[in-house]
Amino acid sequence: MMNNDNAGQIVILNGAPRSGKTTVARAIQQQLEGPWINLGVDSYNAMLPAQYLPGIGLRPGGERPDLEELVLFLYAALYESIAIHAGLGLNVVADLGHHDNYSQPYGILADCARRLEGLPVLFVGVRCPLDVIMARRENAEPGREELYVKASPETPVPEAVRRWQEEVHKPGIYDLEVDTSILTPSECVEAIRRKLDGEISRPTAFERILNLR
């Protein structure tokens, strides 16, 4: 257990793909003081060989059990890296999509919370309604169109998208929640800033998640 009074702040943004996590992470880097290192899913997966993708972006539903053992190690390594960065006094923002809907439950979120014990962590739920998520998927930025399952007349909300929406916010324990269909990225950052400047309720979200084990 790490206990460092000079540790950097950690903000974990958790939500479904296209919920706005990455945009909020970038806004945090631009608007909050100090260097903020982004150790989120996109930057982490960019280091992986193609044959091991989608890595920690593995979708709910147990679709690739052959990759699940690797995902356990990848999450452990990512959170150990987050802990090291914060322990050295660097602020870290990580935009992720945690779920436990693999071919079997692994308790990855609780294990990740354990790796950040003693460090200042704000766990933020990034929510967004399905209709907005689908609109964002249909209007993905150039170069990312193939990353997202698209709707069809027969399936206006693909099952994979619905699974993300249902699974990513379990158990739903957060220090703060923001809805990107209502708030702009800057407004989300201001909500995060106010939370960081105030008194975060104890036990924190990660402390409560640890107690569920």
Listed by start position, the domains of the chain span 10-211
Tell whether pTM > 0.95.
Answer: no
Amino acid 39 reads L
Q: How far is CA 64 from CA 10, 55, 58, 96, 161, in A?
A: 30, 10, 8, 18, 16
Query: Cα separation of 48 and 91, whole Å?
Result: 24
CA 22 to chain centre: 9
Q: Dihedral of CA 24/178/55/40: which sign?
A: positive
Q: Print pLDDT tens along the chain (213 aa).
A: 444 678 999 999 999 999 999 999 999 999 999 999 999 999 999 999 999 999 999 999 999 999 999 999 999 999 999 999 999 999 999 999 999 999 999 999 999 999 999 999 999 999 999 999 999 887 765 554 445 565 555 566 889 999 999 999 999 999 999 999 999 999 999 999 999 999 888 899 999 999 886
Query: Cα separation of 110 and 108, whole Å?
Result: 6
Domain 10-211 annotated CATH 3.90.120.10: no
Q: Which residues contact 125 (CB under 8 A, 6 or more apart)?
A: 14, 15, 169, 172, 174, 176, 177, 178
